[in-house]
Amino acid sequence: MLIAAHDPSDRDHRLSRLGTSWPVLETAIRRGEAGWRGATPDHGGDAAAQYAYRERLAALRAGQKVHHGWGNARLFQIELTVNPGHTVAFQTLSGDHRTGNPNLTPRTKTPRGPNGRLLLSGGEEDDQPSLFPDLLPQPVPDTAELTDPAGLAVWILLVHREAVAQDGSVLWHSELSLPRPPDERGYITGWLDRVTLPPVVFDAVVFPDEEEGPDGIDIPVGAR
């Protein structure tokens, strides 16, 4: 397994060969944290992670489109961004506490479903994408509906959010990695290649005194 440490020149060279850049990936992570902080208890128990995912995906797609000429795509109902030649695609998932550590092997936080296993197994599993094709989401105009995973290398922007109890700050650990097929339970536990990325740090959310009113809330999402 090839693992890239946090050496900027090595990291940037490897990302460039894949058709991306650290500024695009960092922006996606920062947008994800903004989405996380936009959720409230009224949105539901898993809203923060869902909001973070949606914002991260949107920023990843927008950055790849503007800076590297990629396009939106969907394969087996999984949202991707894909290069013009349809040879490399990115998706984004949450990983465990080992994410971003070049000395440890991470795994996905949750198991992949039948479509996720099908995507990362090159379409060779017995599971069918859907038994109810009429119920699938309708494609949006700027999203290519891919049908064949052959020849497509799907890399994962794997992220893990860590809240630091001592000062309330937040760290996002991440890597861009090429997975092996999921195990029998659907977890990704092995990787063919990994590009580990530097942690992204966010300050704690600062709440105002009651007399300041709700307009005084300060939610910094920049690096310290």
Whether residue 215 is predicted with pLDDT greater than 90 in this model: the reply is no
C-beta neighbour count of 165 within 10 angstroms: 7
| Confidence band for 130, pLDDT divided at 50, 70 and 90 | very low
d(CA 14, CA 88): 14
Share of the chain above pLDDT 90, in %: 64
Residues sharing a CB contact under 8 Å with residue 168, sequence separation 6 or more, in sequence order: 203, 204, 205
What integer pLDDT is reported at residue 25 of this predicted model? 98
Instruction: Give the SS3 label for residue 168.
Output: coil
Predicted TM-score (pTM) of this structure: 0.82
Give 173-204 pLDDT, tens digit per residue: 999 999 999 999 999 999 999 999 999 999 98
The average confidence (pLDDT) of the chain is: 84
Give 53-98 pLDDT, tens digit per residue: 999 999 999 999 999 999 999 999 999 999 999 999 999 999 999 9
Closest CA relative to residue 189, chosen from 120, 118, 125 = 120
What integer pLDDT is reported at residue 115 of this predicted model? 86
